Amino acid sequence: MITGFAFHGYGSKVLQLFSEMQEDASPDNVTFVSVLSACSHSGLADQGIKIFSSVKDYGMEPVVEHYGCLVDLLARPGRLSEEKDIINQMLMKPSRSI
């Protein structure tokens, strides 16, 4: 459901479902990509940054797809200096798409 709402640009609904989901289950990497993408496409940069920061709270390390979403999230509103900092701090070599 989260991915479907994210695909259609319902960022606020995605955040609501994400919050509800965490009451009963832990998100996985795919869920984080969907939520971050929804935040990016809905102009919810600050919420997306908080969600990106919470990946480690679930015992995961951010993967290149998470970073790709974060870079997109920051680029859309023109937060390019933050975007550049993120790219320089990545735990892995940036992919071509980043």
The more confident residue out of 62 and 97 is 62
With cut-offs at 50, 70 and 90, classify the pLDDT of residue 31.
Answer: very high
Report how far residue 4's alpha carbon sits from residue 14's, in angstroms, rounded to the nearest whole number.
9
Structure pTM? 0.89
Domain ranges (residues) in the chain: 2-89
pLDDT in tens, 41-93: 999 999 999 999 999 999 999 999 999 999 999 998 899 888 888 888 887 88
The answer to whether 57 touches 42, Cβ cutoff 8 Å, is no
pLDDT band at 36 (very low <50, low <70, confident <90, very high): very high
Closest CA to 71 of 85, 57, 53, 50: 85
